[in-house]
């Protein structure tokens, strides 16, 4: 009976975990390959540098992250030290909050 219960739980939980992992991987790659600048604490960073920073924060908060939205909120929206929001500055576009930028990409990714 216990084996059947564990199997049922894993069948329900693992697909959601797999989806979340795929979404987070996509978002990290999206940041890494962007031509936009990631602005943290007033300094501009390339996508490669931003992705490395976000990944480090993701590794730190991993136990608290249950969804791609958690990943964005905890790893990619603001400085843990200063509390300052992160921004994205794309060529010929107004500066936007990184959380909004990533949520927009997550929505596009999920619609595919």
Model pTM score: 0.82
Query: What is the spatial distance between Cα 86 and Cα 80, in angstroms, rounded to a whole number?
Result: 11
Per-residue model confidence (pLDDT) at position 112: 85
Contacts 24+ apart (CB under 8 A), 18-23: 20/65, 20/66, 20/67, 20/68, 20/71, 23/68, 23/71, 23/106, 23/109, 23/110
Domain ranges in the chain are 38-112
For residues 66-88, give the mean pLDDT: 95
By the 8 A CB rule, do 89 and 77 touch? no
Can you tell me the distance from the alpha carbon of 73 to that of 77, in angstroms, rounded to the nearest whole number? 6
Q: What is the pLDDT of residues 10-63, one digit of tens each?
A: 444 444 444 899 999 999 999 999 999 999 999 999 999 999 999 999 999 999
Q: Which residues pair with 89 in a beta bridge?
A: 37
Three-state SS annotation for 52-96: HHHHHHHHHHHHHCCCHHHHHHHHCCECCCCCCECEEECCCCCCE
Q: Summarize pLDDT for 92-112 with one digit per residue, the tens.
A: 999 999 999 999 999 999 998
Q: How confident is the model at residue 74 (pLDDT cuts 50, 70, 90)?
A: very high
pLDDT value at residue 2: 53
Q: Is 43 helix (H, G, I), strand (E, B) or coil?
A: strand
């Amino acid at each position: 009976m216990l084996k059947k219960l564990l199997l049922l739980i894993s069948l329900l939980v693992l697909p959601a975990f797999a989806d979340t992992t795929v979404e987070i991987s996509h978002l990290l790659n999206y940041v890494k390959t962007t031509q936009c600048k990631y602005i943290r604490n007033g300094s501009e960073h390339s996508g490669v540098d931003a992705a490395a920073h976000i990944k480090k924060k993701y590794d730190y908060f991993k136990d608290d992250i249950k969804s791609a939205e958690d990943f964005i909120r905890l790893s990619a929206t603001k400085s843990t030290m200063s509390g300052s929001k992160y921004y994205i500055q794309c060529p010929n576009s107004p500066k936007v909050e990184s959380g909004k930028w990533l949520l927009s990409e997550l929505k596009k990714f999920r619609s595919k």
